[in-house]
Structure 1
Amino acid sequence: MFESSVIEIDGVFIGIVFQDGPDEPYTFRAMHERVTQMDGDILPSYEDAVARARTRFRLGRCKPVRSLDTARRYA
């Protein structure tokens, strides 16, 4: 491992990004359930990894939209 960095979003440790060599891409390792879909993603730069992890983490925080039935039945 050539270089590694911890990623924290809003004070929460969500994962690490590491690079195997100076000319190699960055790999993300997820440590939080909101970003597990990104585990193993290969990204061109550290900044791209942080931006994508931040977006995924914050989207995971949103509550799902409650769907309403198109027709309601009243007794």
Structure 2
Amino acid sequence: MFKSSVIEIDGVFIGIVFQDGPDESYTFRAMHERVTQMDGDILPSYEDAVARARTRFRLGRCKPVRSLDAVRRYT
């Protein structure tokens, strides 16, 4: 591993980006459940990795909103 950096978004550690050589692209390793789909992605620059991880983290895997009963029941 030639170079590595930690990525934190809003104070949350979400993963690392590393480079195997000076002319190699960057690889992302996910450490948070919201960015697991990015694990192993190869990106051209550190800035691209951070921007993509930030977007993925903020969108995340949103839990579905609990639906309310269509009819209210009064007793």
Q: TM-score range by the shorter chain?
A: 0.7 to 0.9
Deviation, 1:55, is 0.1
Distance in 1 (CA, whole Å) between partners of 2:25 and 2:38 is 15
3-state SS of paired residue (1:55): helix
Which TM-score applies when normalising by structure 2?
A: 0.82
3-state SS of paired residue (2:74): coil
Deviation, 1:70, is 12
Moved over 3 A (4+): 61-75
Deviation, 1:49, is 0.1
3-state SS of paired residue (1:73): coil
Q: Among all aligned residue pairs of Structure 1 and Structure 2, give the percentage whose two residues are the same amino acid.
A: 93
Greater shift, 59-68 or 23-32, is seen at: 59-68
Query: Could you say if the C-alpha distance between residues 41 and 69 of structure 1 is closer, same or farther in structure 2, counting changes exceeding 3 Å?
Result: farther
Distance in 1 (CA, whole Å) between partners of 2:48 and 2:67 is 33
Deviation, 1:4, is 0.1
Distance in 2 (CA, whole Å) between partners of 1:24 and 1:72 is 60
Deviation, 1:48, is 0.1
Distance in 1 (CA, whole Å) between partners of 2:71 and 2:40 is 44
Q: Provide the residue aligned with 1:39 in structure 2.
A: 39
Q: Provide the residue aligned with 2:71 in structure 1.
A: 71
3-state SS of paired residue (1:69): coil
How many residues in Structure 1 have an aligned counterpart in Structure 2? 75
Deviation, 1:71, is 13
Greater shift, 56-65 or 21-30, is seen at: 56-65
